[in-house]
Amino acid sequence: MVRGEHFHLGRDSSEEEEDAMAHPFCPGYQNEPFRSLASEYPEADVFPRGQFRIEWGPIFHRGRLDGTARVLVIGQDPAQHETVVRRVLVGEAGRRLQGLLAKLGITRSYVIVNTFLYSVYGSVKATTRRDPRLVDYRNRWLDALLVDTEVAAVLALGGAADEAWQMWKKTPHGQAFTGTYAPVTHPTQPESFSKGDKAKLAAATKKLLSNWNVGLQTLAPALAHPDAPTPLVLYGDTWADGDRLPVPESDFPAGLPTWMHEQDGWARRVGKDAVEKRRNITIMVPKGIVQ
Amino acid sequence: MVRGEHFHLGRDSSEEEEDAMAHPFCPGYQNEPFRSLASEYPEADVFPRGQFRIEWGPIFHRGRLDGTARVLVIGQDPAQHETVVRRVLVGEAGRRLQGLLAKLGITRSYVIVNTFLYSVYGSVKATTRRDPRLVDYRNRWLDALLVDTEVAAVLALGGAADEAWQMWKKTPHGQAFTGTYAPVTHPTQPESFSKGDKAKLAAATKKLLSNWNVGLQTLAPALAHPDAPTPLVLYGDTWADGDRLPVPESDFPAGLPTWMHEQDGWARRVGKDAVEKRRNITIMVPKGIVQ
C-alpha cells in the first residue's frame, strides 16, 4: 500500500502497521492485565443460570487494549452475533455506536466492555447486580482501562451501564478519575421499546437522537486528540446517511469472513420452545455469498 | 492452585503460569511471523469456491506458536466445529490425535496446521493443490514452525498432508530439515471409509491403529525431550481407554464454554438442499447444560 507523506502526520506506528495489513485483526488478550482477566472470570455462582445465558461463555470486550483508547464505552450485554464473534457490540447497536464515535472524531481509539459478561436471560435481580464478586471483577476491567491511561471520555449505553459506572465511580480509583462521563440511551432501545409499532419507533428514535446529541456535546470538549478531527455535527430527528458505520475488521478475531462484520442478521436463536431456543444459535451465510 | 515442589522440575515458566490460570487460553497471532500470516492469507482466487467452503474464512492452527513446539502436525481440512472455534482439529479427530501425541509423551509441545486453510467442499483439483500461491503460503507457515525451532518430529495426517510435506521438503529449507517425519492415516478415515458398515469400520480401525503404531515407532526415538516421559505403549486392534484424550482448554480462544472443548456433535450443517446446508452451521448446546 502506498500512502502520501501527509498521512503520516499524527499517526502512530501501530496504526500504520495495521493499515498495511490485508486483513487487520484484534490480537486479543495476550498481555496483562487482560490475560488474567480473560482467564479468571466469574461463572455461574456469580451470574446465575436463571438470569444469564452463561452456557455460551463470557464476552469480554471490543477495541483497543494496547493503551491507545481515548474513549471507553460501557455496553449492556452480548447477544447471538457477539457470542459467535466473541466480541462486544458487533451488530446494529455496534454500527450506531461507531457512528456516534465518528462524530467525535474517534475512529479507532476506543474500547468497549460489557456491564455483564454474559447475555442477560430475562432480567437481572438487584442482588445479582450488586454482588461484590460481579462488581469487583468489572471494576478490575475499568481500573485496567481508566487508571493512568489516555482515556478522557466515558460513554455508558443504557441504565445498567450507568449503574456500573456509578459503582466504579465510588471506588478510590473512580473518585480520582478526572475524565468526562456521559450516560446515553442504549442504541437499539427504540426497537426494543416500540415492538414493531412504526409511530412509536419514530418517536423513540427522535428521543434517542436528542439524548445522544446531549452526550456528544458533553464528550466532544474532552477529546483534545481525536483520530480524525471533525466539526461536531449533531443528529437530526431520524437516522441519516453516515449515522451508522461499519464495525472495523480490525476489531474482530483473525480469519473471520467479511459477511460477519459487514452486516448482522446471520445468527438467530431457533427452536420450538424456550429451552430449545436457548440451546441454539443458527448461523446462515447471507444470500449471494455461496451462490 | 497448590502444587508440590517436584512438579517444578523441568517445567518452564510459561507452563507454570498457564497451569495457574483458571481458564488458560490460546493467545493467538499477536507475534510475527504469525501476525502477518493471519492477515495476508490467500482467498477465493487461490481456493476456488467450487472446491472450498471459503465463505467461512480461513482456520489457521492449534497449539504452540511460542517456539515451545517439539512436534508439528499437518492436518487435513477444518470442518464445522473448527469453523466455530477457529482452531484446527478440535473434534473427534483431534481427540484421537491428542491420544497419539500423549503416547509420545507430548502433552502440550505441539503445533498443528492445515494442509488447506479452508474446509474442502467436494474434492480438490490437482491444479489447485499445486497452485504456487497456495503452496508458498503454506510453506511460509512450515518455515515459521520448522526453521531454527525445537520441532524434531513431523506427523502428517492423510494423503493431502503428506503431499504438502513433500512439497515443502523439496524447498531449500525443507532439504535442510533434519527432523523425523511420519505420514499416517487420517484419524477419522475409518468412519469416512466404512460409511456406517460396522464390520468395515472394525477392519479399517484395526488397519489405522497398526499404521499409527508404525508412526509412533518412527517418531518416538526423535523426541528426546517429551513433556511427560513415558514408555511407548502401542495401540491394540481397537480403540482402548485413554486412546482418545480431551483437547486442552489452553488450545482454545479465550472465553469459550467448556462444552465446546469437552465434546463435539454440537455443530451441524442443516438445510433442505446442498446450498442451504452449505450456508448453515447450527449450534446446539448439549443436553443437560441449560437444564
- Residues with Cβ within 8 Å of A221's Cβ and at least 6 positions away in sequence, in order, are A180
Amino acid B23: pLDDT: 96
For residue A73, give the C-alpha cell: 464505552
Amino acid B99: pLDDT: 98
From chain A, which residues contact B within 8 Å (Cβ)? 21-25, 27-30, 35-36, 38-41, 49, 55-60, 84, 86, 253-257, 259-260, 270, 275, 278-285, 287, 289-291
Please give the span between the terminal C-alpha atoms of chain B, in angstroms, as a whole number.
Answer: 30
Angstrom distance (rounded) from CA B89 to CA A208: 46
Among B25, B39, B84, whose Cβ lies nearest the Cβ of A25? B39
Angstrom distance (rounded) from CA A228 to CA A104: 8
Dump the DSSP string for B233-246. Answer: ----SS--TTSS-P
B280 and A285 within 8 Å at the Cβ level: the answer is yes
For residue A117, give the C-alpha cell: 459478561
B9 torsion bin: left (phi>0), alpha (psi -120 to 50), beta (else): beta
Shortest distance between the Cα of B39 and any Cα of chain A, in A, equals 5
Cα A116 from chain centroid (whole Å): 12
Inter-chain Cβ pairs, chain A and chain B, closer than 8 A? 136
Query: What pairs with residue A156 in β-bridges?
Result: A74, A183
Among A24, A36, A270, whose Cβ lies nearest the Cβ of B39? A24
Provide mean pLDDT across the span B141-167: 98
Percent of chain B, pLDDT > 70? 93
Residue B123 has pLDDT above 70, yes or no: yes
Residue B214 has pLDDT above 90, yes or no: yes
> Which pLDDT band, with edges at 50, 70 and 90, does B90 fall under?
very high
Half-sphere exposure (Cβ direction) of B117: Cα atoms closer than 13 Å: 31
Contact A158, A68 (CB under 8 A): no
Interface test mutation site (partner B, options A279, A280, A282, A287, max chain B beta carbons within 10 A)? A279
Nearest CA in chain B to A282: B282
Amino acid A5: pLDDT: 34
Among A36, A253, A280, whose Cβ lies nearest the Cβ of B86? A253
CB atoms within 10 A of CB B156: 24
The phi, psi pair for B226, rounded to 5°, reads -70, 160
Half-sphere exposure (Cβ direction) of B94: Cα atoms closer than 13 Å: 30
Shortest distance between the Cα of A261 and any Cα of chain B, in A, equals 12
A132 torsion bin: left (phi>0), alpha (psi -120 to 50), beta (else): alpha
Residue B96 has pLDDT above 90, yes or no: yes
Contact B47, B128 (CB under 8 A): yes
Shortest distance between the Cα of B179 and any Cα of chain A, in A, equals 30
Angstrom distance (rounded) from CA B156 to CA B215: 10
Shortest distance between the Cα of A195 and any Cα of chain B, in A, equals 27
B25 and A41 within 8 Å at the Cβ level: the answer is no
B254 and A38 within 8 Å at the Cβ level: the answer is yes
Residue B232 has pLDDT above 70, yes or no: yes
Instruction: List, for residues B18-35, the tens digit of each pLDDT value.
Output: 656 899 999 999 999 999
Instruction: List, for residues A212-255, the tens digit of each pLDDT value.
Output: 999 999 999 999 999 999 999 999 999 999 999 999 999 999 99
Whether a cis peptide bond, with omega within 30° of 0, leads into B33 is: yes
Of A277, A260, A276, A258, residue with least CA distance to A268: A277
Residue type, A76: Q
b/e code B227-244 from CB counts within 10 Å (16+ = b): beeeeeeebeeeeeeebb
B282 and A278 within 8 Å at the Cβ level: the answer is no
Among A22, A279, A282, whose Cβ lies nearest the Cβ of B280? A282
Instruction: List, for residues A89-99, the tens digit of each pLDDT value.
Output: 999 999 999 99
Provide mean pLDDT across the span B106-122: 96
Q: Tell me the pLDDT of chain A (291 aa) as tens digits.
A: 333 333 333 444 555 556 568 999 999 999 999 999 999 999 999 999 999 999 999 999 999 999 999 999 999 878 999 999 999 999 999 999 999 999 999 999 999 999 999 999 999 999 999 999 999 999 999 999 999 999 999 999 999 999 999 999 999 999 999 999 999 999 999 999 999 999 999 999 999 999 999 999 999 999 999 999 999 999 999 999 999 999 999 999 999 999 998 888 999 999 999 999 999 999 999 998 987
For residue B269, give the C-alpha cell: 450443517
Residue B40 has pLDDT above 90, yes or no: yes
ipTM for the assembly: 0.91
Angstrom distance (rounded) from CA B240 to CA A58: 35
- Residues with Cβ within 8 Å of A118's Cβ and at least 6 positions away in sequence, in order, are A47, A52, A53, A54, A56, A57, A58, A59, A77, A78
Percent of chain B, pLDDT > 90? 88
Pairing, β A71-75 against β A61-63: unpaired
Cα torsion through B138, B141, B143, B145, rounded to 10: -140
How many helices (H) does chain A have, and how many strands (E)?
Answer: 12, 7
Where does B117-213 show beta strands of DSSP type E? 153-157, 180-184
Helix (H), strand (E), coil (C) string for B3-72: CCHHHHCCCCHHHHHHHHCCCCCCCCCCCCCHHHHCCCCCCCCCCCCCCECHHHCCCCEEECCCCCCCEE
DSSP state of B148: T
Nearest CA in chain B to A40: B22
* Angle CA A36–A38–A152, to nearest 5: 90
The phi, psi pair for B66, rounded to 5°, reads -100, 15
Residue B1 has pLDDT above 50, yes or no: no
Angstrom distance (rounded) from CA A271 to CA A281: 9
